[in-house]
Structures are given as structure tokens and as C-alpha cells.
Chain A
């Protein structure tokens, strides 16, 4: 969660929109670097499970050179590079109660636990990590799902 949202004029300016306003439609040319930084700003609002990230990424062993910490590494390079990540608010109990087929697959031994399922499969199937995240996941699904090729 964040307490600041930049005025749209600033975004428009940064995107150098040829016509003027984003809501005019059409398409936008954007510097990859600018997009990366925008994504990093999105990732800042993410409740990253830092311990999990550090454990998975194993970078902690050599220190986070050039980064202020685990979160900074994730936001600036890790996320875009496709590093594994989990929310620290992942609710395994809710997850298993909500998705009967997941519980069954874990019972069958296909996955060791809810986290593993979510990491390997659930997140790609637009499953939510907890009850509160359902609307957010849905919003993302409506945005990205429809963009994806059928």
C-alpha cells in the first residue's frame, strides 16, 4: 500500500504521449528504462515475503551488492528478471479451503504444500493468495487475461 499517487500530468509527461493524455487511446512509445522504473514502483507496493525471497534467491550469502536490501533488489531487478516471490500475507489455510482441487492434489502428493502449489501453478491460474487479494487478482486478470492471446 502506498500513500502517494503521482498526478496524471506527471505520468503523461514521463510517457511523452504524442497526443497528450493517456485516456485519448492510441498507442504509446515508452523507453524500456522508464517502463522498468514504473514496474519497480508497482513492485514497491507489494508485500514481499523477504525471508522467502532471500532464501529462494540465495543472494544474501554474498550480500546485496549495490542494493539497499532484499526489497530493493526485488523491486529493481528481481521481479523483472522473473525471480520467485511470495506475498508475506499468503494464507495457506484459506487457500486450501477455497480450492478443493488443490487440497486434493496435495493430499495425492502432487505438491508438497499450498505455497509450492501457488508458486508452481496457482499464481498462473489466477488463484488468489488470500481472501483480501481476490478483487486485486481479478482486476489484474481482467487487464492481463484479455490481453493474452487466446
Chain B
């Protein structure tokens, strides 16, 4: 043993770097000589080694300094100066010490100085340890010793680390807070887990990482550099507008779910109860009540009018001869007219001959009128399946006046006339009529209408604006209160940190994106929320409201609503009865809702109603009562109505279902105007999902989002007064209830499919102001139910709302399956190269449409080239940002909106950093602009839905081995899309060169990430490692995630051979 080692050992013995007492206990006798320390170290077990010499973590040290198994680590450590073993322990880093105290550098060269230095305890020994406090030192060796042996608490560790919260975020963390700390330091930080609620590694990395300085350990980076440079521990992402994450071509799953939902929704449950064919009204075998006259619409207007004038019963059934309507159904329609004197026309639901719900074609406008409308799919006028019950007194002596042109518009003119006279028209979907023949047979009452296309168009033109306005369905979202000030029992932001992955397959609720962890006491937050909602077609919010007796709880959002300058959104209050009572300390006492509570709630409703910001239904402010079963009886609601009536306010009161789908018995009759569906109604009858890999124990109560949607759709006998409430998602694992209820597969496209189906359901059932729907919720982050942008999908859920509304109101936006014209996206960065590309495309001699993007300064040149080529084109001038990738992602939605579902992506490639740049690009381009090859590729995409991307041979690489510098960005993208990096690494495909032919739906998983300018680095001529390079690698991954494969143009063998010509795998 060299003298130097012994001298150095002596230094630590002298300065207290080793714990002599502990050694005495261990040996039974104190040690005096350094040799004893070193020998003892050799003999000691792992834990004892940590006790003997806490500065060295044996496992870490052996790996970091490549020790042989039998080498004495302590002897090795002491044989060289400390500054050659700068990282002997995961928590110790001499580089960090030197960073904090450059003036101590000299002391790292000698063990005696170093031992003296750490005894002084003036500087934290590593970034994760707490810095010296105002008085007293920091962890030092003794602190480290306590940490290592589990004797000390974590008071010497940075306050950013919270073992409990870390454990829940990271999962699979060994027991004990020290073990959690070591797990975080050795693995968790690099994996991007948050150490606790005070630090947001994802936002930190996104905000501060640059290609030149990627951040591998966000927490360490913050503690080491960031905090001294004014970096924020939880930077608020600043994203101007996310434009690109449109779900316009829904993937296969969307179609499947949507089709199933529609099929379920349209299949009548009680078709057996309908009268058999042959008993149609035309056959005159149906017996009708005596006070109803039957007039068959046989196409002869004059005859019909004559029949009407001849009869005298107070009610008139106006129907096509092939309509089947039972006596009972006719009676129910008549009862409705008797009960509601203002209604002049009652309309049943007509069911087609094949059992599907036929649209009645009737739309009632908010003021009670009816006008001709078209069903989006068929453009057939309403009178096609006419069956209406009229009140004779409302019509007068003549059925059709002189202005009546053809029988086709009987319903139209009649309804207009009724409306002009101040009558209402009502649709009763629960009353069923059926058709015995299909309309196409021409056997129904008004076939002539179909011939007069010109007349139809005239009517449509005349009523176009009205049709659009009346067919609108208002979409609202439940708005929760998040800021709760602690201890209030409201799940707020803090709950999010408890969200843990329960097992490998489970992603806890996401973290907020664009809006950040906002403070909803700030009025600007409300303004931002309203703007977002407005942009995506959500016209109002149902605000969670807490009121009990004279006390109001968490009403800051409500006060903001009343106080904010301008409110583009409308609001309604959703009174949370049980929570209010609980907050007031009356949990479980149902009877305490007294006059004071009624007065308080009434006051709030009045305040909102008089502010002009209320959601109204037929002019009455909407009010929702949640947990109504908590009220003892209807007296509270009755008192509320009376109280409000005194001030002239007649609220439209909805009672929300409980989670079983029930409402209290008293909630009927005149007390309430309707029922609000529970977002998770039918949970119990949704099949449970089996979950794989539940190492962590209880997987929770897991159901499929689509399963729930289908279960709800099967309950299609929804009463007219049921207001639909659609869940965005649900995962309450963060709330710590057992078992947690988790909805799987609540992706934006599944949500869009559900919403779209629900809109069609509302369309078929509801009229006027009742055409509304509530989404649960806008911001229930703690339960994983939110529309607000998050870090995983950006604005995709909001865009899903807009898409569903668009596809519902504008049938023409539905893309064509086979666009005869090929869409070509060309990013023209080098105009002269772009000119060649355009020529090559022109030489294809195929019908194409060029979508060209180019930076501002090159627009003129590019435009000149485009004009010369004579191809149809659209030029988009964009910022020079995000290479060819961001322009492509931004343009795809537009390309799709124009009816294309396949896009050929080209760009003016010239890679200055590659010697063979020109060749490489030429090879890619040659393959993609070869007419024969391209035609083949198009046929592949058209004929085989299993392929999503077709790329030239020689440029389809395994992803593994080509990630290199792009690894961090790629991992970030994978994390955002919820894909497992391991499987992607093993199976992923890299479509290199960024030129390919793609089915747009294969790009959907990528587009759904909602990448914006903010995600891409500024242009500095980087050759690799930018977000654009990572996205390039995501093309193949996206295709796989959409359930499709990448197809090589040519053969796999040639691909393999050519790869070697252009690419060299990186050695990692």
C-alpha cells in the first residue's frame, strides 16, 4: 500500500471524513492507523462501506470509474487526487462544487485540503443537495452519511424533491424516501420525471433546451445552472396558436366507432311494437280517435284542401298514405296538443321501413316556427315523410291558401303560416310512426316534390340563413373551479401531482399546455378560456357553483364572470348541492337546505340572468342542479322557482342524473324542465377492460371510452327533455379513491366520434333552444376530463369539437374518398431546386394540385417558377421556421379540407452538410416523380388500407440506430403521443429524406400532437438534432401508430442495398 494512500486516508481520519465512533462500534475497538481503515473497507459489506466512507457510493463508483470487481474502491480513490474522481457518489459532484466556489479549485488537488474543505461544510457537495443555509452549513459528509444509512431525513436535500409525489409520478420506485431520492438522482431525472410539485421538467426542457445544449437532466440542470440564470422552475409555455392539430380525416378507429354509434342510435329498440305493414293510414284499417280527422296527402293539393274543408273534428292528422301510426300514438299526439294550448302542430318520430330512424325533416326554430330544411345527407325536403297532427282551430277554415304552389311544400307553407300566426310546433320523438315503403319507391304522399329540384333549391335559397341558424346545436362545457386555496376539498392543480401511472399501460391525466397551471382568480384566465371556447365552437359554460345558506364557496370565477369587461361566452350555474353542504359542514344532512340557501341561490341566478350573460332556453336562464338526490324533496327547487318568479325570472331548470343515471322521484312535472345526462351514466353496464401488467397492484376500475359511448348509445330511448352530457375522458386515479375509475382510449378522435354521434342524436330529438349539449368538462384536470390544451395533444380535443360541429353543419366538408387530383406539397427553400422539382412534377403528366410553401424572401422567385409551369397551385408564404416539416404539418389540414386524402411530400432538398447532398436528393426525387412508380404507389394506397406511407427504396431505415442526436426530441414526441419508446425503438421505421407519399390519416397521430412554431427551434443552419429532424423520424412512427405500415417503393432487398449507399448507422 503506497504511502500516499495511507497519508490520504489519514487526512480523512483527521478531518472527520470517516465516522470513528461508527467504526469503533463495528470493530469493537477504535482504529488508529489508516491501513486499518483501508483493510476494513475491503472486508465490509455494501452498506458498511457506505458507512465507513460515505463519499463513495460503491455501486456507482465501480461503474463510473470502471473498477474491477475485486479492486479496493477506497484505495483507488485515495491513490489519485480528488479532482480525478469528481463524481464518486451520485449525490456528489466536484464539478458542481467548483461551479459554486471556483475559489476552492485548489483544494480539489489534494486529499488533505479536500478533507479539510468538506469538514468546513461551506458548499453543497452536489446539485441535488441543499445549499448552505443562512446560518450553518449544508449536508457535508456527516449529512451524506446520514442520508446513505437512512438515519437522516431529507432536510439536506433540495426542496424540489418530494419523495411521496415523486413516487406517484414515476412509479416503480423502491420503498423508502432515501431509495426514492437515489432512484430520482440515478434514473428519474434523466427520464424527465418531476421531483415534486415545484418543478416541471417537461416545460423546463421545452423552454430552455436548445440543439446546442440539450438538457438531459432537467432538475439537475435547473439546480446547477438554471436557477442562477433566472430560469423558471415551472416555465409557462407560450404558444401563440396551435393551428395544425386538426382531426379531419378520422382514422379507422374513428370510422368504426362512429359507424357503430350511429347504427346503435338509429336502430329502433321497439320495432316489434310498431304496427305491422299493411296497416298504413292509406289502407284505412287504423282506427283513429273520434276527434281526429285523417287527411291523406296524396299529392293533389286541391283534393286535400277540399277534404279538410269538409271535415270538422278539432284535430286533423295530415299524413302520407304509407305512414303507419297506431291509435295509441295518435292519442298521445292529441294529448300533447290538449296539454299545450300554444302548440298547433305535433310531429312524431318517423321510422323507416328498414328500422332506421328516418329524419323527420322538421326543424323548429327558436321562436317556435318551422321551415323546410334538408337533412344533410339527402337534401330531401321535410314533407317527404309527412305525418303531423294539427289543431284545426289554429289553421282556420282553409288548409292551403292561394300562395300554396305544390304539394311538396305543404308542410313548409303550413308551418310558416302557423308560425306567422304565433303558434308553436313541437316534435315528440317518443311517439313513433313508421313508413311501410321506402321514399324512393315513390309511393309516399309527395313524390312530385322530388322532381322539382328547381323548386327545392328556391326554397332552400330563401331560407338558407335561417336553416343554418336553426340547425345549430349549442355546445356548452362544464367549467370547474380549480384554485381552492388548500384544504377546501376541491381537487385542484395540486391533485395532478398525485397522478401516478398505475401500471405500464396507464397514462395518468396530462399536464396543462397552453394555459399553464393558471390561477382562475385572475380575470385574464377567464378571458383566455372564453376566447379558446369561442374559437372552437363552444358557446358557453356551465359553471360549478357552491352555495349553502348565506355562504358562497369558491365563487371567484363567478365574480369574474360578472365583472369581466366583455363576455363572448354565455354561462349557466351548475349548483353542486352535496359539495356545497359538505363545505358548509353539513355533510350527510339532507334536510338543511332552508330558506337562506334558496335566497342565496336565487340571488346568484338573478345576478347572472340580469347581467345578460346567461345561457337561455326559450328566453329563460338555464340552471343545473347537481346531486339533486341530496335534496330531501322538491321543496327547495319549488321555493327557488317561486322566489325567482317574484323578480320575473323563470329559470329553465335541469336536474343532473347521478352516476347510476337516476334522478330523484320528485324531479318531474312542473318542478324541473329537463334532465342532464350524467357523463358516466351506463358505466356499470360498460364491459370492464382487462389491463395488462398490473405490477403495481390495483389497476382501478377500467373501462373503454368507446365501450362507454356505445353503452350510452344503446340507451337510445332518451326522452325529449334529456340534455346530453358527453365525457371528454375520465381518470380519477389522482384523487386517491379506490377503486379509481379510469376510461381508456379517450383519444381526441374517439371523443370526436362520440360527440358527432351525440350531435346527430340531439339533431334528431331536439328542437329550438333545446338543441344543446354539454361536454364534461372544460377543465376537470384532476379527473382527467378536460378540453383545455394539454402537453400531450395540444388543442386536439378542442379541435375535435369544432370538427364535429363542422361536419355536422356542413355536409360538403366531408372529404371525397377518391380525389382524382394528386395533392403535392412542395416546400421551396431553394428556388432553383424547386424549379426542377416543379418541372419533374409537370412531366408526370398527371392531374395534380401543387401546395407550395416558401419563406417570404423567396416567394417572388418561386411564384415566377410556378406561373411558368402552368400547374394548378396554391402558394403559401411562411416564416422560415421548422424546415420543410412545420410548413407541411400546417398545410396538411388545408390539403385535406380540399378533398385530398393522399399527399405527395416533396421539397427542394440540398443538404449542404452532405457531400452527396445533391445525389441523395436526386435519388429521392427521381423515385417519387417517376410516373410508373408513382402510379403503382397510388394504387397501393388506394387498394390496400394497411399501408399508410410509401417511400422510395433505399430511404426506409430502421429507427433504431438513426436516432442519435435526435433522441431527446424524439423521446419527448413519443411521450407526448403516449407511445412506448422501447417498442418504437425496436420496431420503428424512419422514412429518411422527408419525401414520401402518405395517406393523410397515417399522419394523424403526428398531427394530433399539435406541434406549433414554439416547438421548433429557430433556424441556425443546424444539420441535425432539431425538432424538425425528430419529426422526420416520427413519420414512420405515426404511420405505425395509426395502425398502418410503411411500404417501400421497390423491393426490401434493394432498399437494404441502397441504404448503405446513403446512410451510415450512428454508433451510440
Measured CB to CB, the residues of A under 8 A from B are: 98-101, 103-104, 107, 121, 125-128, 134-135, 137-138, 141-142, 145-146, 150
Contact = CB atoms under 8 A, between A and B. Distances in A.
B101 A99 contact: yes
A100 B100 contact: yes
B131 A138 contact: no
B94 to A, nearest CB: 16
B230 A107 contact: yes
A98 B103 contact: yes
Contact of A138 (B15, B107, B122, B132): B107
Given A126-B120, A141-B120, A145-B120, A98 B102 contact: yes
B116 A145 contact: yes
Given A107-B230, A138-B103, A125 B116 contact: no
Nearest to B105: A134
Given A126-B103, A142-B116, 7 more contacts: A99-B101, A100-B228, A101-B131, A134-B106, A137-B103, A138-B107, A150-B16
15 contacts: A98-B102, A100-B99, A101-B100, A101-B131, A103-B228, A107-B230, A128-B103, A134-B106, A135-B106, A137-B103, A138-B107, A141-B120, A142-B116, A146-B15, A150-B16
A103 to B, nearest CB: 6
A123 B34 CA distance: 35
Determine the main DSSP class of B at the interface with A.
helix
B232 interface: no
A134 B104 CA distance: 9
A135 B102 CA distance: 12
Nearest to B230: A107
Interface of B: 15-16, 99-103, 106-107, 113, 116, 119-120, 122, 131-132, 134, 227-228, 230
Contacts of A135: 106
Contacts of B227: 104
B103 A127 contact: yes
A128 B230 CA distance: 24
Contacts of B113: 142
Nearest to B116: A146
A142 B116 CA distance: 8
B510 to A, nearest CB: 32
A125 B228 contact: no
Nearest to A97: B102
B230 A125 contact: no
Contacts of B230: 107
Contacts of B16: 150
Determine the main DSSP class of A at the interface with B.
helix
Given A134-B103, A142-B113, A101 B228 contact: yes
B111 to A, nearest CB: 14
Contacts of B103: 98, 126-128, 134, 137-138
A150 B119 contact: yes
Nearest to A120: B134
Contacts of B134: 121
A122 to B, nearest CB: 11
A110 to B, nearest CB: 9
Contacts of A104: 227-228
A137 B134 CA distance: 21
Contacts of A137: 103
Contacts of A121: 134
A137 B104 CA distance: 10
Contacts of A142: 113, 116
A117 to B, nearest CB: 12
A63 to B, nearest CB: 38
A146 B228 CA distance: 31
A121 B101 CA distance: 14
A141 B119 CA distance: 12
Contacts of B99: 100
A141 B117 CA distance: 9
B185 to A, nearest CB: 20
A69 B737 CA distance: 77
A137 B106 CA distance: 12
A135 B132 CA distance: 23
A98 B99 CA distance: 8
Can you list the 8 inter-chain pairs with the closest CB atoms, starting with the nearest?
A: A100-B228, A134-B103, A104-B228, A128-B103, A125-B122, A145-B120, A98-B102, A146-B116
Contacts of A98: 102-103
A21 B260 CA distance: 103
A105 to B, nearest CB: 10
Contacts of B107: 138
Nearest to A134: B103
Contacts of A99: 100-101
Contacts of B15: 146
A125 B131 CA distance: 13
Contacts of A145: 116, 120
Contacts of A125: 122, 132
B16 to A, nearest CB: 6
Contacts of A128: 103
B109 to A, nearest CB: 12
A103 B102 CA distance: 14
Contacts of A134: 103, 106
A107 B226 CA distance: 13
B116 A138 contact: no
Contact of B106 (A101, A107, A126, A138): A138
Contacts of A146: 15, 116
Contacts of B228: 100-101, 103-104
A92 to B, nearest CB: 15
A118 to B, nearest CB: 13
B110 to A, nearest CB: 11
B13 to A, nearest CB: 13
Contacts of A138: 103, 106-107
Contacts of B119: 150
A106 to B, nearest CB: 11
A89 B1004 CA distance: 65
A141 to B, nearest CB: 7
A17 to B, nearest CB: 26
A150 B17 CA distance: 11
A137 B16 CA distance: 23
B100 A126 contact: no
B122 A126 contact: yes
A99 B103 CA distance: 9
A125 B101 CA distance: 10
Contacts of B102: 98
